Each structure stands twice: as C-alpha cells, then as structure tokens.
Amino acid sequence: MAKMKQYIGLLICFIIIIGAISHVGFNYYNDTLSFLFVAGGSVGYGFLKNQKDKFITNCGNGAIYFGWLGTLIGLIALTAGKWDNWGDIEKTGLALSVAMLTLLYGYIIKLILLVFKN
C-alpha cells in the first residue's frame, strides 16, 4: 500500500509538471544531449559511490549534481561567447534555456528515483 501511495504521489507531481510545461510548449523542453549528460552522469555517480545497497539513491543524487554541472558548463559556454551569441538576445535566451534544462532533467530524474530507492 505504501508503494501505491508513492506511485500516486509521483503521478500527481508529473501531472503538475506536464501541465506547466504544456502551458509554455513542449518543444522548449527537449534537448537530447542535455538529458544524456544528466542521465549518464547520474548512473556514473551511482557506480562511483560503490554502494550496491544505495545505488538508486546515489543515482538520484548524481542526477542533481550533474544537473547543476550541466548548467554551469552551459553558462560558461554562453558567457565565453562560444557560439557568438553574446549581445544577441534571441541567441542568448535560447542558449540560457538549454543550459537550464540540465537542472530540470536532474530534478525530474531524482523525483522518479525517489519511488524506486532502496
């Protein structure tokens, strides 16, 4: 019964998140490379901690860490002018939104893994 409550809680959270995202537009929240960065870092961090009994919990924590790392890497690339976007508000806004997606993905992965933690 406790597991069912967790699934219901996760479903409620997803309905709220999807509702907010759909209001803005799903196309703004898709970036495969950002997701792979966070998901891969999450699993890598789970292995890095080398705690078999806490693997899922460590993956969730790793998702948060890599979400923040991805955002920092994106902000550094943005401000360094890697794509010649500094000063162009349209390009800067787009690059900033992609940089912040890693945070969103990290917290969503952590939220999902809360249900499956050991």
Question: What local confidence, expressed as pLDDT, does residue 65 receive?
Answer: 96
Examine the pLDDT at 58 and tell me if it is beyond 90: yes
Query: Rounded CA gap, 66 and 109, in Å?
Result: 11
Query: Rounded CA gap, 21 and 28, in Å?
Result: 8
pLDDT interval class at 82 (50, 70, 90): low
Examine the pLDDT at 13 and tell me if it is beyond 70: yes
| Degrees, nearest 5: CA angle 99-36-84 | 35
- The two structure tokens encoding residue 70: 């991805």
Question: What local confidence, expressed as pLDDT, does residue 22 receive?
Answer: 84
Question: What local confidence, expressed as pLDDT, does residue 29 receive?
Answer: 83
Contact between 96 and 71 (Cβ < 8 Å) = no
Contact between 95 and 71 (Cβ < 8 Å) = no
Average confidence (pLDDT) over 94-102: 83
Neighbour tally for 65: CB within 10 Å:
14
pLDDT interval class at 23 (50, 70, 90): confident
Contact between 105 and 38 (Cβ < 8 Å) = yes
Average confidence (pLDDT) over 85-114: 83
Domains of the chain, by residue range, sit at 1-30, 31-116
